[in-house]
Amino acid sequence: MIEKKIIYLDYNVFASHFNNDVAGLREVVDALKEKYMFPYSPAHLEDLGSSIMWRKFEEEEIKDVAHRCGERLQSISDISNNYEIFPGQGNNPTRIIQEHPGQCLMRVLEYFDRNRFLDSRERKLLKDLKASDVDGARSRIASNLPVTFLSSAEYDSEIKKKFNSDAVLQENARQAGLPDFSWESISISHQVLEHVFEILMNYLEELRFKPEKVKMARSRMHDVTHAIYATKANFFVTGDDRFCHKVRVAYTYLGVPTKIMHLDEFLKTGHQL
């Protein structure tokens, strides 16, 4: 395995590299390829799979869709050199493997039906939370809190209650032999890491911190997964303002060492990394 530092690009940044619709992006990425690894993850293929599976195509469209999908896969392959951030099974940590993204896409599509349940659950969650803050008053207050706010006693105690009351999380942590939910502990088990992030990111929505729009429920599902896989990287680049703020808060609370970079910052300073 090539020992390089890792830059994780979210799916929209991968797409912009493919479409060449962000000035300077290709130049920055290409200039860093010798020094850094740009792996993909199953979250990227979930995003790509969604663009295929959530709508019906006329028969005459299928050939064109397959061609576009093949082009996207090749683009991901070219940027990543087929390196993938791969979920550790059971209590194993996230790891780097090498396989063509097409193989990952096949696994994603095989289990895609479960996304219909998850999508319905996400929409209900965001819809209910929006109804609890109709005028947006809570959101305006929460969204202006500092990046470290989750570590204050009020929020920290509530998070710990959520962790302690989740029987599945507690059992998984017990099986993994984790003493707590610090970064040093949860980074050992992908299964626990995933669960902790789901609880934490849902809590940020509950607080109405940079809340996601209901219509973006499906996108939010993939965003949370990107945040999980990006913990394996040295840098995480996203152009989504809301998501960028939320990941910074979550990483700061957990002590994740990954540096979050907004796409604008990456374009300006990426050559200096």
Instruction: Say how many CA atoms lie within 13 Å of 250 toward its Cβ.
Output: 29
From CA 97, how far away is CA 82, in angstroms rounded? 8
Residues linked to residue 262 through DSSP beta bridges, in sequence order = 238
Q: Residue 58: pLDDT above 60?
A: no
pLDDT tens digits, residue range 86-107? 998 878 999 999 999 999 988 8
Query: Residue type for 132, please?
Result: S
Query: Residue type for 98, please?
Result: Q
From CA 247, how far away is CA 95, in angstroms rounded? 21
If we measure between CA atoms, which residue out of 111, 104, 109 comes closest to residue 41? 104
CB-based contact 38:10 (threshold 8 Å) = no
Q: Residue 167: pLDDT above 80?
A: yes
Predicted confidence band of residue 108 (pLDDT cuts 50, 70, 90)? confident
- The reported pLDDT for the residue numbered 57 is 47
- The reported pLDDT for the residue numbered 77 is 96
The whole model's pTM is what?
A: 0.90
Domain count for the chain: 1
From CA 81, how far away is CA 58, in angstroms rounded? 34
pLDDT tens digits, residue range 177-188? 999 999 999 999
- The reported pLDDT for the residue numbered 55 is 60
* Max Cα-Cα span within the chain: 59
Percentage of the chain with pLDDT > 90? 68
First-to-last alpha carbon distance for the chain, in angstroms, is: 22
Return the SS3 of 177.
Answer: coil
**Between 217 and 34, the higher pLDDT residue:** 34
Per the listing, tokens 């020992």 go with 3
- The two three-digit tokens of residue 92, written as one number: 């194993």
Q: What is the separation of C-alpha 224 from the centre of its chain, rounded to a whole number of angstroms? A: 4
Return the SS3 of 8.
Answer: strand
CB-based contact 104:86 (threshold 8 Å) = no
Give 191's contacts (C-beta < 8 A, 6+ positions apart): 88, 90, 91, 172, 176
Radius of gyration of the chain (CA): 19
Return the SS3 of 145.
Answer: coil
CB-based contact 90:191 (threshold 8 Å) = yes
Please give the residue range of the domain that contains residue 116. 5-272
Query: Residue type for 92, please?
Result: N
